[in-house]
Structure 1
Amino acid sequence: MTDLRVCILIPVYNHPDSIADVCASIAHLALPVLLVDDGCESRCAQVLDGLAAQGHHLLRLPHNQGKGAAVRAGLQHAEQLGFTHALQIDADGQHAVADLPAFLEASVQAPQALAIGYPRYDETVSRVRFYGRYATHIWVWINTLSLEIKDSMCGARLYPLRQVNALLRRHPCGDRMAFDTEILVRWYWAGGELCNLPVRVHYPADGVSHFRMLRDNVQISAMHARLFFGMLMRFPRLLLSRFRRHRMSLAR
């Protein structure tokens, strides 16, 4: 693949105070931006309309469906627009823009790879958030029989659209917060190439979180259980895949 066409994909749900600044901060990358309005309230919807008037692509969902549904719709729409890759970032500005060019370079070096960000936190991260992620990390490592996925919850990642959308047609991977993790596990199961890249993360003091403790933890737990039984069915093949990936890594 030499004809790479990359867009920046930003799912948005009620971030009226940050999304314009995020778009301004990535303008120097000179990449088209696709905003996905996941049923935003009127004030945020008006901000998105203004950004669309400036030339950004805007996909508006009729009602709030969840981050997974918004990203999935955005990935499909990006491919329909003719892009080959989508660099996803969050709408609250937590990802360091200076770290994003490495994702673009990765798409040139390995066009078929899914580049995953793993966070490098500053002092704004809470202990609950920091250590709580390890429950998911451990389950991901169990369900892949591998440590290859360093972090499955970071919202900064670069998707090769044709391959990922083909996977999502077979496995939608959920509509809400469990999506980010499940798609990476299923990508690994399918033999997809992975690339882990560091990204600095800062949580704004007035940041908006849409994580719902009970609902999302129940859905994430159910996702891990479902993937665990899927791992058991794939156990011999995953062991063989791990051996092959190790050999390829040694060869490189």
Structure 2
Amino acid sequence: MQLTESGVTSNANKFKPCAVIPVYNHEHAIGAVVAAVLARDLPCVLVDDASSASCAAVLDALAAAEPGRIILLRHAVNRGKGGAVLTGVQHAADAGFSHALQIDADGQHCTDDIPRFLQQAAARPQSLIAGCPQYDDSVPSLRLYARYLTHVWVWINTLSLDIKDSMCGFRVYPLPSLIRLVQRKKLGERMNFDIEVLVRLYWDGVSIVNLPTRVAYPTDGISHFRAGPDNLLISRLHATLFFGMLWRAPRLLARRLLPRRGAA
């Protein structure tokens, strides 16, 4: 066992986390995010999702400054946040990492919470650690209402309240479970990704640990959420997941009832 600077007691053969950060034109915020990740002694996989030349230059400089701690991957064309995450987690799994901490590049997530996320992942290595946002006053009210609608659909499509928030991009994946999922199922690669991967991993039996975490509006003021196209993608996803839930319903209900019977 080793106690790392991040505060995680780990067995190097069983718990080997890294960070995966999808990046698209967040050159003004990414440096602080990367610095916070590296301060927690986490290797960092940056995925440049076909950013502008100015952002690409910033990423090149970050990687050059920390060649042993930062891996920089690039997409020739923009594939979306989900596509970038998938590229990063596949690389992480191939490199022998057991877990991937996903965090956004825009600075909205509280990097001080990274140790808490890693501690939970080390304690429950088969579980997915999911951020449950605690927003400040910077978030638009319309965003909150839209998120709540998604929460309701996720509760319907999992027949549970186990997932408190499916849209927060601050989470820790157990890579074996995630890689098994992506090998058999093509997931949405844009803003529908965060929701779909969480629901499908839950369907696969992965338990969810919800951690409250402070979330602010992007520090660089840039959001890539496209109100029309992305809301349409998410609506289609909820419909697809609903029909997928129907034939899984007996198993999902049994999953909730069996522990209760065992405890009786």
The 1:116–1:247 alpha-carbon spacing in structure 2 relative to 1, beyond 3 Å, is farther
Map of 1:226 onto structure 2: 240
- Residue number among 178, 197, 215 corresponding to 1:164 in the alignment: 178
Map of 1:207 onto structure 2: 221
Q: Which residue identity does 1:230 align to in structure 2?
A: G
TM normalised by structure 2 equals 0.91
- What are the ranges of 5 or more consecutive residues in structure 2 without an aligned counterpart? 1-9
In 1, Cα distance between the equivalents of 2:25 and 2:260? 43
- Residue number among 178, 181, 185 corresponding to 2:199 in the alignment: 185
- 1:53 paired to 2:67: no
**Secondary structure at 1:138 match in 2:** helix
Map of 1:73 onto structure 2: 87
- Residue number among 7, 10, 19 corresponding to 1:8 in the alignment: 19
In 1, Cα distance between the equivalents of 2:123 and 2:35? 27
The 1:127–1:169 alpha-carbon spacing in structure 2 relative to 1, beyond 3 Å, is same
Q: Which residue identity does 1:166 align to in structure 2?
A: R
For the aligned residue pairs, the C-alpha RMSD in angstroms reads 1.6
Map of 2:36 onto structure 1: 25
**Secondary structure at 1:26 match in 2:** helix
Residue deviations 1:121-180, cap 9 Å, x none?
111111111121011000000000000000000010001111111111112221100110
- What are the ranges of 5 or more consecutive residues in structure 1 without an aligned counterpart? none
- 1:133 paired to 2:144: no
In 1, Cα distance between the equivalents of 2:17 and 2:251? 33
Residue deviations 1:65-95, cap 9 Å, x none?
0011111111101111221111010001111
Count of equivalent residues? 250
Query: Contact 1:99–1:198 at 8 Å: present in 2 too?
Result: no
Q: Which residue identity does 1:19 align to in structure 2?
A: I
In 1, Cα distance between the equivalents of 2:219 and 2:188? 29
TM normalised by structure 1 equals 0.95
Query: Contact 1:116–1:195 at 8 Å: present in 2 too?
Result: yes
Kindly state the Cα deviation for residue 26 of structure 1 after the two structures are TM-superposed.
2.7
Q: Which residue identity does 2:29 align to in structure 1?
A: S
Residue deviations 1:9-35, cap 9 Å, x none?
110001011111211223320111110
The 1:91–1:217 alpha-carbon spacing in structure 2 relative to 1, beyond 3 Å, is same
Sequence identity of aligned pairs in percent? Answer: 54
